[in-house]
Structure 1
Amino acid sequence: MRGRRMNKVLIAVALALASGSAPAQTVKAGIDAWQKNDPARAVSIWKPLADKGDADAQFNLGQAYKLGRGVQLDLAAAQGWFERSARQGHADAQTSLGLMLFQNGNRIAGMRWLKTAAEGGEARAMLVYGTALFNGDGVPQDQILAYAFVSRAAAQGLAPAKDTLTQMDGALPLGARQRGVAMAQAMAAARPPGGVVPAGKEGKAIAARKVPPAPVATAAAPPLPHPAAAPVVAGGKWRIQLGAFSQRASADALMRRLANTVLHDRIAYFVPAGSVLRLQVGPYASKAQADSTCAALARAGTACFAVPER
């Protein structure tokens, strides 16, 4: 009898375990998969969460579609996911959506989203919107407010913002700069920087691609730091991908901006992919060499990833 009762207990436990649902996947689990170079798994984790309205998952899914990692590259889908996340107040999504709209010619809507993200303290948006304010490019010119936004972006460690702030320092008198600093301090006190933790740290969103704005009109932008470049190897089988663009002019503009960086002796490739062009640069002898270049560019505010030559 005792043995029969024990068997019943074991069977009941087994049935309970079998009927129990698997632990729910989290956005962080998707980030872990992304960092382990398994973007398809990351997307499979984020998609149901995004469908249920998770803003971080929606933003990450937008990034995946924008980069063509784990899914087929689809800028329309990327924009759609960015917008769903942005409407929930996700600052990185607001910035990415604003930049995408702006670069595709919808400057009014793009600047509106960038302004929203800048007011929320997102560094890239503050740099882009601040530069527009300084130049009066699509918005009423306000150089003191521009200085405030760019100061805050520089204080968050955004390297291109530091370069832009140096240009503004040379263009504005001391009194105007002091008013800008005071305004930046008041803005920060009223609404501290938000946003999400980049990939690689405990957080819920993968790192957004940093897109510096056009240089301030009053002075030439100083060249970015020039890390030692790996020698070009004939027949190298690796490249880095800097993004996908619906217009060739946008890709050309990015290459011009990076002309004096570690890419100065590399070849640009414009690879058709449906309705967009993938901007790739190379060649590199190994994935490690390509990854090293991306690391150097990331320190200067430009994201990329290694891809095999096809």
Structure 2
Amino acid sequence: MSMKHICGVLAAGAVLILAQPALADVKAGVDAWQQGDYVKAVAIWQPLAQSGDPDAQFNMGQAYKLGRGVKTDPSAAIDWYGKAARQGHARAEDNLGLLMFQQGDRAGALPYLQRAAERGEPRAQYIVGTALFNGDLTAKNWVRAYALMTRASESGLAQATASLRQMDKYIPQDQRNQAVAMARSIGQQNSSLAADEPRRPAPVMREAPAPVRSAQLPPSASSAPRTAEPAPRPAPAKTAAAKPPEARPTASKPALPKPASGGWRVQIGAFSAEARARTLWTQLSAKVGGLSGYQPYIMTSGGVTRLQAGPLASSADATRLCSAIKAAGAECMPKKM
């Protein structure tokens, strides 16, 4: 996965959130912006920003980034975002890191992006996850890389979902299990941070998120299979939950059928988002002994994603596998292909 493929993070269409606190003059600028009078909005915000108001500084950064009311100037946008960020304006810091990265200052952007990722910014999670996977600008950590990419995927970032599919080819199952647990912990932290953040009025407008081009994920040193490049041992992370023990069949339970070619599969569920199907597969692989030996099939049609596993040689084999999956708490149905 090369960081060269993640340019354009803040191209046209990036999320626009204007700060509009109770201060009447700043809100007057927001009202003017909402009505399409960008020149008036900038004229209101500029003296306030120069006097040190962080919301006005953030809004000036937005104006310069998008070229509304002023000529597009990424350097000026970075300057205004930086001034607001130094006063603790979290959204300004998020935008600062993303714009610095887009402008080519990847090393300078990384600390801001790491903090933005911790706050739950999906584009930052995608970029930092890519860096951690490659060991680019930071130490390689496949567990945290997969966890951040999972969070970005669950937020609806399609490029993160595509990257997860490629990561699956190289990251061992036990590290993916750890990553899923870490992703849950990160989600809980994001919710806690959002609850503690000073409340600001609702944004006056949003634009569709900018597409982030999919990263190429083969290991940077080689395109060989996973066994040719052992996964690094990630440093213990406070947010990582303990690896769930692998369920092992006992003598009192029927043995699961061995993976084989055949015309049968089992359908484990249908979901509105592919990320949920992938998460369930990872969880069940840790609970159902032998399940990870089968091929997962994740198919999306008509807005519904179906998770299947196989192939199996017979209806009896599919039924036995379904019994083990149901015992782990999931739905399952044999399917003739």
Query: TM-score per shorter chain, which class?
Result: 0.5 to 0.7
Change in Cα spacing, 1:166 to 1:99, as seen in structure 2 (3 Å) is same
The one-letter code sitting in structure 2 at the alignment partner of 1:94 is E
Task: Report the equivalent of 1:134.
Answer: 133
The one-letter code sitting in structure 1 at the alignment partner of 2:186 is M
Shift of 1:117: 1.3
Change in Cα spacing, 1:209 to 1:45, as seen in structure 2 (3 Å) is farther
Counterpart-to-counterpart distance in 2, 1:44 and 1:71:
10
TM-score (norm 2): 0.49
TM-score (norm 1): 0.53
Change in Cα spacing, 1:209 to 1:123, as seen in structure 2 (3 Å) is same
Change in Cα spacing, 1:163 to 1:217, as seen in structure 2 (3 Å) is closer
Matched, 1:70 2:69: yes
Contact 2:114–2:124 (CA under 8 A) maintained in structure 1 = yes
Counterpart-to-counterpart distance in 2, 1:173 and 1:139:
21
Counterpart-to-counterpart distance in 1, 2:150 and 2:217:
17
Task: Report the equivalent of 2:143.
Answer: 144
- 1:154-169 equivalent positions in 2, closer than 5 A: 154-169=153-168
Matched, 1:80 2:82: no
Task: Report the equivalent of 2:308.
Answer: none
In structure 1, runs of 5+ residues without a counterpart are 1-22, 220-310
Contact 2:162–2:214 (CA under 8 A) maintained in structure 1 = no
Task: Report the equivalent of 1:280.
Answer: none
Q: Deviations over 1:216-263 (max 9, x none)?
A: 4229xxxxxxxxxxxxxxxxxxxxxxxxxxxxxxxxxxxxxxxxxxxx
Counterpart-to-counterpart distance in 1, 2:187 and 2:77:
30
Contact 1:123–1:153 (CA under 8 A) maintained in structure 2 = yes
Task: Report the equivalent of 1:232.
Answer: none
Contact 1:153–1:161 (CA under 8 A) maintained in structure 2 = yes
Shift of 1:107: 2.6
Aligned residues between the structures = 192
In structure 2, runs of 5+ residues without a counterpart are 1-22, 220-337
Instruction: Answer with 154-163 or 175-184: which moved more.
Output: 154-163
Contact 2:93–2:112 (CA under 8 A) maintained in structure 1 = yes
Task: Report the equivalent of 2:112.
Answer: 113
Contact 1:168–1:216 (CA under 8 A) maintained in structure 2 = no
Counterpart-to-counterpart distance in 1, 2:78 and 2:208:
14
Shift of 1:214: 5.8
Task: Report the equivalent of 1:37.
Answer: 36
Contact 2:163–2:214 (CA under 8 A) maintained in structure 1 = no
Change in Cα spacing, 1:111 to 1:55, as seen in structure 2 (3 Å) is same
Task: Report the equivalent of 1:183.
Answer: 182
Contact 2:160–2:214 (CA under 8 A) maintained in structure 1 = no
Task: Report the equivalent of 1:217.
Answer: 217
C-alpha RMSD over aligned residues? 3.1
- 1:241-280 equivalent positions in 2, closer than 5 A: none
Shift of 1:180: 0.8
Q: Deviations over 1:196-224 (max 9, x none)?
A: 9xxxx9327866964626604229xxxxx
Counterpart-to-counterpart distance in 2, 1:151 and 1:92:
22
Shift of 1:76: 2.1
Change in Cα spacing, 1:179 to 1:60, as seen in structure 2 (3 Å) is same
Task: Report the equivalent of 2:267.
Answer: none
Task: Report sequence identity in percent.
Answer: 45
Query: Which one has more relative contact order, counting CA pairs under 8 Å at least 6 apart?
Result: 2
Counterpart-to-counterpart distance in 2, 1:213 and 1:92:
22
Q: Deviations over 1:19-49 (max 9, x none)?
A: xxxx92344x544433432221222333344
Shift of 1:81: 0.5
SS at match of 2:168: helix
Change in Cα spacing, 1:127 to 1:96, as seen in structure 2 (3 Å) is same
SS at match of 1:25: helix
Q: Deviations over 1:275-307 (max 9, x none)?
A: xxxxxxxxxxxxxxxxxxxxxxxxxxxxxxxxx
Counterpart-to-counterpart distance in 2, 1:182 and 1:30:
44
Contact 1:95–1:124 (CA under 8 A) maintained in structure 2 = no
The one-letter code sitting in structure 1 at the alignment partner of 2:180 is V
Shift of 1:178: 1.8
Counterpart-to-counterpart distance in 1, 2:81 and 2:202:
21
SS at match of 2:124: helix
Q: Deviations over 1:80-108 (max 9, x none)?
A: 10111222333332233223333444332
Contact 1:60–1:205 (CA under 8 A) maintained in structure 2 = no
The one-letter code sitting in structure 1 at the alignment partner of 2:92 is A
Shift of 1:59: 2.0
Counterpart-to-counterpart distance in 1, 2:203 and 2:152:
20
